[in-house]
Amino acid sequence: MFSRYFLGTLLLAIPMLATWWGIERTLQAEKKKSRSPFGEKLLRPAGESLRLKISEIRDGMLEEGMILSICFVIPSLVLFLPQARNSPPSWLAWSAVAVVCYPVAFFRWRKLFSLRKDLRKYQLGYDGERYVAAELDSLRSKGFRIFHDFVVDWKPGGEKTNFNIDHIAVGSSGIFAIETKARRKPNDQLVENGRSHEVRFSGESLQFAGGFESRDAVKQALKNAVTLSVWLTGSSSERITVHALIVIPGWKVIRAGKGNVRVLSGKELVSNLPTMEKAGSISDRELGMIADRIEAHCRNVDGA
């Protein structure tokens, strides 16, 4: 009796494992057989780090879903075998299988639910960065050079200390490290003291209608600007100033205080950025060299 259950499990698991193994072999063979015809690396598009993370999460969700399905199917197969109707040994076998499979299924369900929450969060961030990128691209006609997803990967600690600057704008008004912060709007219209779907910047924090407050966004924007400034300055005796900017697409921004960070809505970028600051002593030639250096760092995406 046990051998029959064991054989049934193998007949279910082996085809799935063979399929996975076959896909992996095919992918490896394709890589060995041919390569991309594009020798030059591409510039990083907006949200590239988030796109890769979203792809990784979706792969994880697929894997968790497959395991979850197997954990539910195996006990059911054992239960619906003809021998399981009135045979105590068969019910004992089902119980043994269920004791193993159902706890695993519960754990995988929790993991799948967690991945789904992460996917929703990263998808919002990705959409926000693409929205801001579309607004920034219109500044190219005004002489700005725009870069996206600038990866900071030179700090000690490897992957644990890596992070990215969402956007960088270089133009006659200065150099800007731009942090995008996308936040969902509730379906119910929030009204507090006459405010609806507004975010107030106090100078130190972002205060969204509904009671949510964030200081981390301000800290992150300042960190981005300082890090980029240090990287651009290098061994030069004259510090290159980078201005910190937060963009919140889709929300109305109320600037109730002043700080070291500027906060704009997505629609305010095009009209405000060219006149916000002045590059000071940096000449157009130096700005061009700075932009070339940033571009060289961002040109690291391989072709398909």
Residues of the chain under the 50 pLDDT cut: 84
CA distance 205 to 170: 26
pLDDT of residue 102: 80
pLDDT of residue 91: 61
pLDDT in tens, 130-187: 999 999 999 999 999 999 999 998 877 777 778 999 999 999 889 999 999 999 887 6
pLDDT of residue 105: 81
pLDDT of residue 24: 76
CA distance 160 to 176: 25
Q: Is 148 helix (H, G, I), strand (E, B) or coil?
A: strand
pLDDT of residue 78: 65
Instruction: Find out whether 200 and 256 touch, Cβ atoms under 8 Å.
Output: yes
pLDDT of residue 221: 96
Phi, psi of 38 (to 5 degrees): -90, 110
pLDDT of residue 94: 65
Instruction: Kindly report the average pLDDT of the chain as a whole number.
Output: 83
Which among 199, 213, 294, 179 has a CA at the least distance from the CA of 250?
199
pTM over 0.75: yes
Strand 243-248 to strand 261-265: parallel, antiparallel, or no bridges (unpaired)?
parallel
Tell me which amino acid residue 164 is. Answer: N
